[in-house]
A and B are shown apart, each in its own frame.
Chain A
Amino acid sequence: AQTVTQSQPEMSVQEAETVTLSCTYDTSESDYYLFWYKQPPSRQMILVIRQEAYKQQNATENRFSVNFQKAAKSFSLKISDSQLGDAAMYFCAYRITHTGTASKLTFGTGTRLQVML
C-alpha cells in the first residue's frame, strides 16, 4: 500500500522569507503523480503544484517549487517570498497514474504553516 509521510506537523516562516515543507512517500509503482494541496481556514483544498514522476525536471508555479527526488522518494515544497496568505495547512498527496476515470489520492498528515509579520 502507498503511504505519504509529512514529518513536520507545524512550521513557521517570516514574511518574505523562504520555507521548505517535507514529504516522503512509499510506493512500488514507477508511474505516479505527486501533489501539494493547501487548505486555508476557509476550508477549501486548493491545488498548489503537481509533479509527474516520469519527469525529472522539478515543477514550479510562481513562488512555489518542488524538489523531487524519485530514488529517495522525497517531494518537498519550497515557498519563496512568503506572504500572509500562504498561512494554511499543506497536504502532500500521491496517486498512481492509471487508475481509470477516478483518481484516488493518498494524503499525508499535513503541515500547518504560520507566516509571521
Chain B
Amino acid sequence: DTEVTQTPKHLVMGMTNKKSLKCEQHMGHRAMYWYKQKAKKPPELMFVYSYEKLSINESVPSRFSPECPNSSLLNLHLHALQPEDSALYLCASSPGLAGGAPKNIQYFGAGTRLSVL
C-alpha cells in the first residue's frame, strides 16, 4: 500500500475563515511534506517534517501553520488567507533513510484544491 490520503478534496474559504487540511499515511514513513502547486506550475515545497519535528520551512507566511501530531498524520492550518493562496495543496511522505537512500522516494496524495474568496 503506497497511499497518502488527503482531505478534503476541495475547500472554499473566505479570507477571515480558519480551516485545516489533513494528510494521512499508514506506510510507516518518517518524513512528511506539504507542497503548494499553482496551475500549470511544478509543486513548490512549503514544509518538511522529519520524525514529527519540523525540519524545513521554506519561508512560508505565518498564515499557514503546519502540525504533525503523530507519525501518520500531518495537518496544515489555514488562517486569514489571501486570494493568491488559492492553489492545489499536495502532501507527500517518504520512508526516511532507514531503508537506505535509494528507497527514500516521495509518495504523493491527490491534493486539496483550495479556493480563497
Contact = CB atoms under 8 A, between A and B. Distances in A.
B45 A104 contact: yes
Interface residues on A, range: 20 to 34
Nearest to A92: B42
A47 interface: yes
Contact of B90 (A45, A89, A104): A45
Given A101-B55, A102-B31, A44 B108 contact: yes
Contact of A91 (B42, B105, B111): B42
B42 A110 contact: yes
A105 interface: yes
A72 to B, nearest CB: 22
B31 A103 contact: yes
Interface in B90-116: 90, 92, 94, 96-97, 101-102, 104-111, 113
B97 A45 contact: no
Given A43-B88, A44-B108, A97-B101, A102 B42 contact: no
Contacts of B101: 33, 97-98
B113 to A, nearest CB: 8
B110 A101 contact: no
Contacts of A107: 42-43
Interface in A100-117: 100-105, 107-110, 112
Nearest to B90: A45
A43 B56 contact: no
A104 B107 contact: no
Given A108-B42, A109-B41, A110-B40, A45 B33 contact: no
A86 interface: no
Given A91-B42, A107-B43, A101 B31 contact: yes
Interface of A: 33, 35, 37, 42-47, 50, 52, 89, 91, 97-98, 100-105, 107-110, 112
14 contacts: A33-B101, A33-B102, A42-B110, A43-B113, A44-B111, A47-B107, A91-B42, A101-B30, A101-B31, A101-B55, A102-B96, A103-B104, A109-B42, A110-B41
